[in-house]
């Protein structure tokens, strides 16, 4: 049986290794993303496939990997709500209120999005955006300095993976880098809530 001191030391060392793992993964992710590559990474919800959301060629690779029609929207992650104005023409005030009261990750679909790959935009130039507070994705988005595509790591029509163990080899083999951080987690995660928010403040719950 471990003593209290041994337990504390073990916990501290484990935490240090996890942080070191995370920083190394982020460094490699940035190299891949800046070259137009795809990554498989843990998010604030389920494991996702991602790329630089401003790179149209990379976004098209994501659609191809997922075998998904390009008329079906993908969402993007940002590290801060302060950056919404860089990608949405008119951010409704209610958006920040909804984010403040959300008890789980919340994706908001805005009209009038811009400064991203055109193939990401839906009707009325709509785009789903989620501000992430999860440590890995928050830091990755912050250092990338651009929105990060985040779509479930599965082939279209197949179940979304609730953990890394459920990600298929098709997806793992189709990306340019697979993040090591959080691969060993057994916690089952779920997708985010989604709300469609209009510029006049009206909204519709999608999921």
- Enumerate the domain spans of the chain: 4-205
Question: How far is CA 90 from its chain centroid?
Answer: 22
Cα–Cα distance between 99 and 96 in angstroms, integer? Answer: 5
- CATH architecture of residue range(s) 4-205: Alpha-Beta Complex (3.90)
| R_g over Cα of the chain | 18
Choice between 134 and 16, residue whose per-residue pLDDT is larger: 134
Over residues 109-126, the mean pLDDT reads: 94
pLDDT band at residue 39 under the 50/70/90 scheme: very high
Model pLDDT, residue 73: 86
Cα–Cα distance between 109 and 156 in angstroms, integer? Answer: 21
- Is 109:128 a contact under the CB 8 Å cutoff? yes
Which of 81-90, 97-106, 189-198 ranks highest by mean pLDDT?
81-90
**Measured CA angle at 187 (ends 184, 188), to 5 deg:** 120
Over residues 112-141, the mean pLDDT reads: 95
C-alpha dist (Å) from residue 178 to 23, 90, 93, 135, 201: 14, 36, 37, 17, 39
The H-assigned helical ranges of the chain are 4-34, 56-66, 93-101, 135-144, 169-174
Model pLDDT, residue 189: 82
Over residues 69-89, the mean pLDDT reads: 93
pLDDT tens for each residue of 146-176: 999 999 999 999 999 989 999 999 999 999 9
Cα–Cα distance between 63 and 151 in angstroms, integer? Answer: 10
Q: Map residue 97 onto helix, strand or coil.
A: helix
Model pLDDT, residue 38: 98
- Is 162:189 a contact under the CB 8 Å cutoff? yes
Lowest mean pLDDT among 1-10, 149-158, 168-177, 191-200: 1-10
């Amino acid at each position: 049986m471990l003593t209290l001191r041994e337990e504390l030391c073990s916990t501290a060392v484990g935490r240090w290794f996890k942080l070191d793992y995370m920083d190394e993964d982020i460094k490699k992710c940035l190299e891949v993303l800046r070259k137009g590559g795809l990554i498989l990474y843990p998010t604030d919800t389920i494991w996702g496939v991602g790329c630089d959301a401003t790179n149209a060629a990379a976004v098209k690779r994501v659609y191809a990997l997922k075998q998904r029609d390009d008329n079906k929207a993908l969402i993007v992650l940002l590290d801060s709500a302060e950056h919404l104005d860089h990608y949405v023409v008119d951010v409704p005030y209610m958006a920040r209120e909804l984010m403040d009261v959300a008890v789980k990750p919340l994706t908001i679909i805005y009209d009038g999005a811009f400064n991203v790959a055109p193939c990401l935009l839906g009707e009325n130039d709509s785009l789903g955006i989620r501000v992430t507070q999860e440590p890995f994705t928050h830091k990755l988005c912050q250092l990338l300095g651009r929105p990060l595509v985040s779509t479930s790591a599965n082939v279209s029509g197949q179940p979304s993976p609730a953990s890394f163990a459920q990600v298929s080899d098709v997806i793992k083999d189709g990306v340019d880098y697979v993040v090591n951080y959080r691969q060993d987690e057994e916690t089952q995660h779920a997708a985010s809530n989604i709300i469609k928010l209009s510029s006049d403040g009206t909204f519709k719950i999608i999921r």
